Amino acid sequence: SQTIHQWPATLVQPVGSPLSLECTVEGTSNPNLYWYRQAAGRGLQLLFYSVGIGQISSEVPQNLSASRPQDRQFILSSKKLLLSDSGFYLCAWSMGLAGSNEQFFGPGTRLTVL
């Protein structure tokens, strides 16, 4: 069966520091991968998605970047964090674009920027 992991689970970082959040998927090959941010207002905002190694699509301009160095690894980064980067970051995967394309979510990383 497929599982998705995220770490760390929680993170407190000062403004201006770098960021690296990791997401890995097990039990599947060539998944589509997604990074979402859930701010305090509850809605989910799609940040990046990837259909393959090295292929990243950015949904909104921002202070963050994403990379996919391996098939089942998706990394969210920042060189200098802003206060507004605080939130709950969720990684998700799906199998291609055909069919029902259900997305399955990881447990999330709670980021607090002080």
Partner 1 sequence: GEDVEQSLFLSVREGDSSVINCTYTDSSSTYLYWYKQEPGAGLQLLTYIFSNMDMKQDQRLTVLLNKKDKHLSLRIADTQTGDSAIYFCAEREPRRGKLIFGQGTELSVKP
Residues within the interface to partner 1 (CB under 8 A): 6, 32, 34, 41-44, 46, 49, 59, 90, 92, 94, 97, 100-108, 110
CB closer to partner 1 out of 29 and 100: 100
CB closer to partner 1 out of 43 and 61: 43
| CA–CA distance, 23 with 5 (Å, rounded to integer) | 6
CB neighbours (10 Å) of residue 46? 15
DSSP class of 98 = S
Q: Minimal distance in Å, beta carbon 86 to partner 1? A: 15
CB closer to partner 1 out of 9 and 83: 9
On the CB side of 71, how many CA atoms lie within 13 Å of its CA? 7
| CA–CA distance, 11 with 57 (Å, rounded to integer) | 25
Q: Minimal distance in Å, beta carbon 55 to partner 1? A: 13
Q: Minimal distance in Å, beta carbon 90 to partner 1? A: 6
State the DSSP H helix or E strand holding residue 92, giving kind and residue range, or none if neither: strand 87-94
